[in-house]
Amino acid sequence: MSASPVTTELRAAVIALAKQAGAAIMDVYAKPFEVTAKSDASPLTQADLRSHQIIHSGLQSLAPGHPILSEESAITPFVERGKWRTYWLVDPLDGTKEFVSRNGEFTVNIALIRDNAPIFGVVYAPASSTLYVGAQNLGAHKQIGAGPLIPIRAQTKTPETLRVVGSRSHGSETLAAYLANLGSHLLIAMGSSLKFCLVAEGAADLYPRLGPTSEWDTAAAQAVVEASGGIVSGWDGRRLLYNTKPDLLNPHFLVYADRTRDWLKPLGTGVH
């Protein structure tokens, strides 16, 4: 069933909320900060928590009827969560490793999920004041600082030398083998959900992910990619979906826009 259109008013309100969270993150970033470890050994900072509090409170005011699932909140059991038709999916600080290493490649991710698919997403990189936003009915846009929203489109015709974006913090032997079979390419290292956004704005042709991610890592950026004309699919060729099972881990996936290429071919007989 199709979703209600996302209004420009809602888009503006969520953009403002993401920027407010980004300002809180940068306030922590500018000073010495403590890093603790969560139960899965991933890093956690005061910036994650402050961003979460701002976004959670803001979304509750904007859309009080929609549940909120955030990386920094208690996970609602699937027996209840599986009944959600519309909800917010949030990563208050995507790329905490990038935040800790101070390379600027971290983002605030806010997505609206309807019927297991992202229909609207905001990705904000506060260190560079760069924002990406996408909605099914409004298209995809990029904004730098206080400038205007500029329409962006993914590149549907790939060049001879592919521009492939990959994780700065999470490499793998399987990915190395895939890239070796891909042919002529330039590898661009990037952190957080900004990898999706490079494909969405036509600055990269492919983002192959052969490592673990969680649903809050990808939803907002997937909305941007899809609104830009791109595709986010599992290695089975199906659209990446959300909240369909008890755990919140994504399968391996591909982000691209050129539909004329067989992006699975370089995988060979590897694990899908």
93 and 212, same domain (yes or no): no
What is the rounded CA–CA span in Å between residue 261 and residue 137?
A: 27
Structure confidence by residue, pLDDT tens digits, 206-238:
999 988 899 999 999 999 999 999 999 998 899
3-state secondary structure of 99: helix
CATH of the domain at 214: 3.40.190.80
pLDDT at 34: 85
62 and 39, same domain (yes or no): yes
Domain end among 92, 122, 151? 151
Judge whether 1 lies within some domain.
no
What is the rounded CA–CA span in Å between residue 98 and residue 29?
A: 11
Q: Is the pLDDT of residue 253 over 70?
A: yes
Judge whether 3 lies within some domain.
no
- How many domains, the chain? 2
Binned at pLDDT 50, 70 and 90, residue 169 comes out as low
Judge whether 145 lies within some domain.
yes
- Residue 247 is classified by DSSP as S
Chain centre to alpha carbon of residue 229: 16
Which residue, chain included where needed, has tokens 């924002």? 131
Structure confidence by residue, pLDDT tens digits, 110-153:
999 999 999 999 999 999 999 999 999 999 999 999 999 999 99
Judge whether 96 lies within some domain.
yes
Q: Is the pLDDT of residue 199 over 70?
A: yes
User: Please, what sign has the CA dihedral across residues 249, 251, 257, 259?
Assistant: negative
- Residue 72 is classified by DSSP as T
114 and 203, same domain (yes or no): no
Judge whether 156 lies within some domain.
no
**Cα–Cα separations (whole angstroms), residue 252 to 176, 257, 267:** 14, 17, 12
| Domain containing residue 100 | 8-151
145 and 15, same domain (yes or no): yes
pLDDT at 82: 97
For the entire predicted model, the pTM comes to: 0.94
For the chain, what is the mean pLDDT?
92
User: At a CB cut-off of 8 Å and minimum separation 6, what does 105 contact?
Assistant: 95, 98, 125, 127, 168, 190, 191, 192, 194
CATH of the domain at 125: 3.30.540.10
Judge whether 157 lies within some domain.
no
pLDDT at 35: 86
199 and 260, same domain (yes or no): yes
